[in-house]
């Protein structure tokens, strides 16, 4: 069974609020078996517009990744992120 991934590209404007959001996502990560494999770090945009911060979360399956992204636990965390930056998030099935 292919793994699932949640991939996010973000621009953080309020690091303190963003940190609260990240801490709150742990409950959803744990529930759906997610593991961060990229969370921030050095990056360079090679093509296109892009954002400065990148996150890749790995899950046992697409269903788990989807469950995480649309879970009540994640919705709670998302509220803490309001006004802290901009983010694009996709759920992707691996190969």
CATH of the domain at 57: 3.30.70.100
Residue 23 has a pLDDT of 95
* pTM, two decimal places: 0.93
Domain total for the chain? 1
The parent domain of residue 28 ranges over 4-93
Q: What residues form DSSP beta bridges with 36?
A: 57
Ramachandran region of residue 85, left (φ > 0), alpha (ψ -120 to 50) or beta? Answer: left
Low-confidence ranges of the chain (pLDDT < 70): none
Q: How many residues does the chain have?
A: 95
Packed helices 72-81 and 15-24: angle between N→C axes, nearest 10 degrees = 170
pLDDT in tens, 22-35: 999 999 999 999 99
Residue 20 has a pLDDT of 96
Residue 66 has a pLDDT of 98
């Amino acid at each position: 069974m292919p793994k699932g991934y949640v991939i996010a590209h973000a621009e953080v404007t309020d690091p303190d609020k963003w940190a609260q959001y990240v801490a709150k996502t742990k409950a959803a990560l744990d529930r759906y078996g997610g593991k961060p494999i990229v969370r921030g770090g050095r990056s360079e945009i090679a093509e296109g517009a892009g954002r400065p911060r990148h996150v890749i979360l790995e899950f046992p399956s697409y269903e788990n990744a989807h469950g995480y992204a649309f879970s009540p636990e994640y919705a709670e965390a998302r509220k803490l992120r309001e006004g802290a930056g901009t983010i694009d998030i996709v759920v992707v099935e691996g190969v």
